[in-house]
């Protein structure tokens, strides 16, 4: 299409501003990867059910805000007393206070000149959300929600905290009430979430831990989600500390696996890794892994063999994964 005949973008379609005590939003298919602005809103509920390029949220207070998968940055400025759920490539706040953030972030979240910030893991679903993650180019398995960098720390004070309680979101976040926005069928909670619920930092020290790696094929992401569901049915108290999706080089894979026998599997494409915790977790993961591999032509999953091997491979893998995600 010639440049002069391209459909012109109306900024008003991608802006929500100057509202008070309202419930507003955008339905799936109405943003389609455009930039978005939210500004000067008070005591309102705002839901963006689509994928977005970048978004800024300025001068908002006492609001509930849902931000669909965002390719680039979510930047909150001069906001207070808000509850925000967002999935994004980068996340940053400046001059914010008393915010509850439920987050999926591909890189390290940054706060600046902000205080009383509380973070939790993104937990949501609606029918189009998986497609919106694909549209934004985000992996549901790369979530640094708890790895916060405070750009302006204050000696003797803690400007942020993390909660790994799975019920924290349902206590803080409010669902839509208008018929139009209810029709999207937003659901909250770990059981239905498109994103795996992870504990995040701190690390797993002193607990029984197992590293599970899914090798690339057409359904490896679904296999990983099904694995988590199967594991929870066997060990209700099991927990996923971290999940990662990365492309490994052969040399890095050999360092993690301590053998070259997985060279072919690594060469197929990206892998997904789960750090699983809980009493009896090694045996349970091994049994599920054996079943998956028995029903496949090629090896689809790797499970660490014993606790000594697990600890070495976990440290080696997440050291490598942290470097790749920070690039």
Distance (Å, whole) CA 311 – CA 256 = 11
CA 205, 249, 260, 206: dihedral to nearest 10 degrees? 0
- Beta strand ranges found along the chain (DSSP E): 15-17, 23-26, 36-39, 45-48, 55-58, 64-77, 83-94, 97-105, 110-112, 115-121, 124-125, 149-150, 160-162, 187-188, 209-214, 239-246, 271-277, 301-303
> How far apart are the C-alpha atoms of 15 and 252, rounded to whole Å?
45
- Alpha carbon distance 155, 238 (integer Å): 36
Q: Which tokens go with 319?
A: 């050291």
Q: Which of 17, 27, 29, 22 is nearest to 44 (CA)?
A: 22
Alpha carbon distance 143, 156 (integer Å) = 28
Task: Please provide residue 146's backbone torsions phi and psi, each rounded to the nearest 5 degrees.
Answer: -100, -5
The reply, when asked if residue 267 is annotated as ligand binding, is: no
Which two structure tokens, joined as six digits, stand for 188? 């909250």
Q: How far is CA 102 from CA 126, 142, 225, in A?
A: 16, 15, 20
Which has the closest alpha carbon to 136: 280, 209, 31, 65?
31
| 202 upstream amide cis, omega within 30 of 0 | yes
231: left (phi over 0), alpha (psi -120 to 50) or beta: alpha
282 assigned ligand-binding residue = no
Structure tokens at 34: 């455009």
Q: Which residues are annotated as a binding site?
A: 72-73
Q: Which residues are annotated as a binding site for GTP?
A: 72-73
């Amino acid at each position: 299409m010639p440049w002069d005949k391209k459909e012109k973008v109306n900024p008003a379609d991608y802006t929500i501003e100057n509202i008070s005590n309202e419930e507003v939003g955008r339905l799936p298919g109405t943003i389609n990867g455009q930039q978005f602005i939210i500004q000067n809103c008070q005591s309102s509920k705002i839901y963006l059910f689509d994928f977005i390029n970048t978004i800024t949220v300025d001068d908002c207070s006492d609001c509930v805000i849902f931000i669909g998968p965002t390719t680039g940055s979510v930047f909150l400025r001069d906001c207070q007393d808000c509850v925000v759920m967002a999935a994004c490539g980068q996340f940053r706040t400046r001059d914010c206070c008393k915010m509850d953030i439920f987050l999926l972030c591909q890189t390290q979240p940054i706060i600046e000149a902000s205080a009383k910030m509380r973070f939790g893991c993104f937990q949501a679903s609606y029918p189009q959300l998986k497609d919106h993650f694909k549209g934004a180019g985000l992996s549901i398995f790369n979530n640094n929600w708890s790895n916060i960098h405070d750009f302006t720390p204050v000696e003797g004070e803690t400007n942020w905290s993390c909660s790994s309680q799975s019920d924290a979101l349902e206590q803080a976040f409010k669902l839509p009430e208008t018929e139009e926005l209810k029709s999207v069928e937003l659901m909250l909670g770990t059981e239905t979430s498109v994103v795996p619920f992870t504990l995040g930092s701190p690390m797993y020290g002193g607990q029984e831990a197992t590293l599970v790696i899914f090798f690339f094929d057409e359904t490896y992401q679904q296999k990983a989600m099904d694995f988590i569901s199967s594991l929870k049915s066997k060990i209700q108290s099991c927990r996923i500390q971290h999940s990662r999706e990365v492309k490994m080089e052969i040399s890095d894979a050999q360092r993690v696996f301590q053998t070259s026998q997985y060279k072919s599997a690594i060469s197929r494409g990206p892998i997904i890794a789960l750090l699983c915790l809980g009493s009896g977790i090694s045996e349970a993961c091994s049994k599920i892994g054996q079943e998956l591999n028995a029903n496949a032509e090629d090896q689809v999953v790797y499970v660490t063999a014993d606790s000594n091997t697990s600890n070495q491979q976990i440290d080696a893998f997440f050291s490598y994964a942290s470097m790749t995600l920070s690039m």
